[in-house]
Chains A and B, each alone.
Chain A
Amino acid sequence: MGAVARLLPDRERLHLQHGPIDLIIGAEGARDLAFEAARVRFETILDELVAELALLRQEVGEVPVGLAARRMVSAVRPHSAVFVTPMAAVAGAVAEEVLAAMVAAGPLTRAYVNNGGDIAFHLAQGARFRMAVAGLDGAALGRIDVGFGDGARGVATSGWGGRSFSLGIADAVTVLARSAAEADVAATMICNAVDVPGHPGVGRAPAVGLQPDSDLGARLVTVSVGALSTEEVAEALERGVAVAEDICGRGLALAAALFLKGQARMVGQAALSLIPDGSLCDA
């Protein structure tokens, strides 16, 4: 089955799907041109990635050929002091690559490519985006307001219960960065760091046992998180905050919000802080 493109029932947003990739795309301005550019760019993107999949599932080394793959590698490389593969940035990189094609096609005041929650967005001068952050159960965690001058052009959320595996236990880590690929890998790294090592209440299993071709190999990924004391939650979050501060300090992310069992921590630019909000989604 090849790539599929269709307008959502509201006729305002484009849905592109191929294999595991689902993109929801919005654009204001030269929308038709942007949508057509997105559709064309999307047609081959999965095949391009698959062609270099073996390389992308290893720690950064050889530079790949594909443009989305290169975005993955560039975003991941600054983090490679610890184990990470370019796959940590795949969702963000695809969003970014498709958005780049849209922006190149014609003038847009605002546009976004949402790849399963990892979003690349474009803002013209004076434009803003208001974003909602949802937990795994759809419950509202808060809102983020991003303006043209804030520098953020990508947002991503990771958590142990999501589609990709995590080495940590965060319910959610949302990161704003200069690009979606950067946000994606930063969210992954911070999420991995939110942990209470050796805690008996946390279930872990080798990634390959769950997903035979996982890039994480035999590393133990979180499969369940039992009860934790308030202090343990705080301790786990502090580990994540330390990594988040390092990442933000090196300019690899602009702001991060970390969530675990009802507690939250904010790191980075105050202007990009998440505003907690209780009235967002219904179940």
Chain B
Amino acid sequence: MNEAVTPEKIRCDACPVMCYIANGRAGACDRYANHAGVLVRLDPLTVLQSGAVAVPFLDGQQEDWDGDVIKGHRPFITAVGAGTTYPDYKPAPFIVSQAVEGVDMVTVVTEGIFSYCGVKVKIDTDRHIGAERAYVRVDGEAIGHVMTGEYGSSMLSLGGVLHLTGGSKKEGRVTCDALMRLCNREAVEVAIDDGATVVLQAGQAPIINGVPEKLMRVGCGSATIGMFAKQWVGHLDEVVVVDDHITGVLSEHQAGKLLDVAPTGIKMKGRRSTPGRYFQVAHPGTGWGGTDVDDPLTILNAFDPKVAWPGLRMLMVSTTGEQWAYYELDDTLVPRAVEAPAVIRASAERIAENCEPSVCSVLFMGGAGGSLRAGVTTNPVRLTQSVKAALTRVSCGGASAYVWPGGGITVMADVMAMPANSFGYVPTPALVAPIEFTLRLSDYAALGGHLEHVQPVEAVMGAAVRRVEPGEGRDPQDARNFPWGR
């Protein structure tokens, strides 16, 4: 039957069995896999799991290294490239070797690799990309959902155990692939149910329905009124900052009142929150200020004829200043678009100038399960306690990781702060992510670490080791990271 081997299948020579391995699958041992025609090793990360060997695997996987050389005098060995570092990866012998109280041994349905991780994506945009809880799909498979709208951005939650292992195998595979590409800063196109198509890429502007987003709002509509009111007074009678969250109206707003801006008789649609601040002037969309509005006049009712006057000057502008229009009321008190004076044009540009570039931020999130902790110490809970007591600093690829309160070791880290291509995957599917625990040798001994496997850094710094500059400010080994060093 071996004659049927096609080019995408490779033959593993790691052991006498010499398995043929199809693309994207592991051999009989679950230790070696065929990743796009390359034999990759899936062994557990020993430096972190057992405190033993800290040499990253360098067999062919590191050749895409970007060539950076460090001059740093104190190397920090990251988990990148060290093999399978996925926190919950349990290679075959380890599940069955778990000592459980009152039980002599454990039988399992031959071991699998488990995946409890995901990413949170922050997309700087006012545009409506989808409703909360809407599925986010790749290749038709749900890989996550739209979370909350936050300040000037939309949040996505992608991956997690339910998409990786709780759905169909295709769903798990597609999710794992998308997570890995996002974490490796590659572009991934997602389609949101009843929403937009978005190209996500860490550190890059989101591309929403084919249009790259440029700017992140300077503030909400109301805040924008507050920030720029002074510059408008005298040049304009009314300013409306169109915002799906809070649309601001200068003449009614506290900022306008303080500057003695006269009432204009403007009648807004939507629901008034407090003076000069309106909710729901339109529906969420990809138009002005995250509304579905393309013609801003549609959010106004007729001006009050008892208050308004012909010639009233009005600026309507979005929260990013990217869209704006200047109007004057005609004799029937209907706004007519007219050429804007230079000073008005400049104020719209000023809003845009104060906006930051819109980017996608990708934060890896994963939990270090009991098995990983057991690899670090003979008494796993002590590692958790040590992390909570800040005696152990957790990093991902050298990037500082936020450790969630509560049980376990659940971490979040910015993929932009990690070395390029820090992530891999195993066909299970599960993401392979780097995670390091840094602590004093004496603390390591105190929590029951495997001291017999500790090696000096020099012992692992061979010529083939990939060396990169620190991705962010602080060295994970900096004494100031720890209570004993402050």
Contact = CB atoms under 8 A, between A and B. Distances in A.
Contact of B22 (A118, A119, A155, A209): A209
What does DSSP make chain A's interface, helix, strand, loop or mixed? Answer: mixed
A161 B109 contact: yes
A65 interface: no
A157 B111 contact: no
A159 B111 CA distance: 10
Given A15-B93, A213-B19, A131 B109 contact: no
B105 A20 contact: no
Given A13-B97, A212-B5, A282-B370, A136 B104 contact: no
A283 B369 contact: yes
B1 A20 contact: no
B107 interface: yes
Contacts of B100: 132, 280-281
A238 to B, nearest CB: 21
B28 A134 contact: no
A24 B95 CA distance: 10
Interface in A1-18: 1, 8-10, 13, 15, 17-18
Contact of A26 (B30, B105, B107, B370): B105
Nearest to B172: A224
Interface string A7-46: 0111001010111101110100000000000000000001
Contacts of B214: none
A253 interface: no
A250 interface: no
Contacts of A18: 15
Name B's interface SS: loop
B98 interface: yes
B96 A212 contact: no
B273 interface: no
B104 A157 contact: no
A148 interface: no
Given A1-B15, A162-B110, A224-B169, A213 B97 contact: no
B99 to A, nearest CB: 7
A129 B109 contact: no
Contacts of A280: 100, 103, 106
B17 interface: yes
A212 B4 contact: yes
Contact of B111 (A117, A210, A223): A117
B17 A20 contact: yes
A164 interface: yes
B75 interface: no
Given A19-B15, A132-B100, A138-B95, A114 B9 contact: no
A171 B109 contact: yes
Interface string A154-198: 011111011110000001101000000000000000000000000
Given A50-B17, A131-B104, A213-B19, A281 B98 contact: yes
B2 interface: yes
A224 B29 CA distance: 21
Given A226-B168, A283-B370, A157 B14 contact: no
B27 interface: yes
Contacts of A156: 107
Contacts of A208: 1, 4
Nearest to A19: B15
A110 B92 CA distance: 23
B108 A136 contact: yes
Interface in B1-39: 1-2, 4-5, 9, 14-22, 25, 27-31
B2 A130 contact: no
A135 B165 CA distance: 14
Contacts of A217: 1
Given A19-B29, A117-B96, A226-B168, A213 B107 contact: no
B112 interface: yes
B333 to A, nearest CB: 61
Contact of A46 (B16, B97, B378): B16
Given A19-B15, A50-B16, A203-B168, A117 B28 contact: no
Contact of A1 (B14, B95, B105): B14
Contact of A134 (B30, B88, B106): B106
Given A22-B92, A46-B17, A203-B168, A162 B103 contact: no
Nearest to B367: A283
A129 to B, nearest CB: 5
B102 interface: yes
Contacts of A91: 110
A11 B306 CA distance: 92
B12 to A, nearest CB: 9
Contacts of B111: 116-117, 162-163
Interface string A115-141: 011110000000001111111111000
B450 interface: yes
Contacts of B450: 9
Contact of B107 (A19, A157, A224): A157
Interface in A145-159: 155-159
26 contacts: A1-B14, A1-B15, A15-B93, A19-B14, A19-B28, A20-B29, A20-B31, A22-B96, A110-B104, A114-B96, A117-B109, A117-B111, A131-B105, A138-B95, A138-B108, A157-B107, A158-B109, A162-B112, A163-B30, A163-B92, A163-B110, A164-B110, A203-B169, A208-B1, A213-B19, A283-B369
Given A9-B378, A19-B17, A132-B107, 18 more contacts: A1-B15, A20-B17, A20-B28, A20-B31, A24-B105, A91-B110, A112-B105, A114-B105, A118-B107, A129-B104, A130-B102, A131-B103, A132-B100, A138-B90, A158-B109, A163-B110, A211-B20, A212-B1
Interface of A: 1, 8-10, 13, 15, 17-20, 22-24, 26, 46-47, 50, 53, 91, 110, 112, 114, 116-119, 129-138, 143, 155-159, 161-164, 171-172, 174, 203, 208-213, 217, 223-224, 226, 280-283
Instruction: List the 6 closest A-B pairs by CB distance, nearest first.
Output: A19-B15, A159-B109, A163-B110, A20-B29, A162-B110, A212-B20
Interface of B: 1-2, 4-5, 9, 14-22, 25, 27-31, 50, 88, 90-93, 95-100, 102-112, 114, 116, 168-170, 369-370, 378, 450
